A = this chain, B = another copy of it.
Amino acid sequence: MADTNICPKFEKALSILNKRWTGLIVFQLLNGSQRFCHIESEIGISGRVLSERLKDLEKEGIVKRTVYDETPVRIEYSLTEKGLALEPVLNAIQNWADNWMEQEAVN
């Protein structure tokens, strides 16, 4: 990316949020801690990309991966404080969608 005049924090934030699936994953996790397969089927993402995204989001401190040492192990993903702080962003999008998106068939 070339040099810009835009606030680097803002730009960094957008580079995370602009990635495909990130918004939906965070939105989904706002409902609470969830397992890999559950997120996968709820939002219709492929396992390959979900795995990748969750790692990215973990690295960014937005998502937390917790291993419950039962048998068999249970692994759950949840939002950190930083991740929860994205709720107003998602709400703003929801609000915009309600006011401006036409109800139409998706394809």
**A residues near B, CB below 8 A?**
1-14, 17-24, 27-28, 41-44, 82, 85-86, 88-89, 91-101, 103-104, 106
Contacts and interface: CB of A to CB of B under 8 A. Distances in A.
Please classify the interface of chain A as helix (H, G, I), strand (E, B), loop, or mixed, using the class held by over half of its residues.
helix
Contacts of A18: 17-24
A6 B23 contact: no
Contacts of A44: 1-4
A103 to B, nearest CB: 7
Contact of A88 (B85, B95, B98): B95
Given A8-B106, A14-B93, 9 more contacts: A10-B27, A10-B94, A11-B24, A12-B97, A12-B104, A13-B94, A88-B95, A89-B89, A91-B92
A27 B9 CA distance: 14
Given A21-B18, A23-B14, A44-B2, A8 B103 contact: yes
Nearest to A40: B2
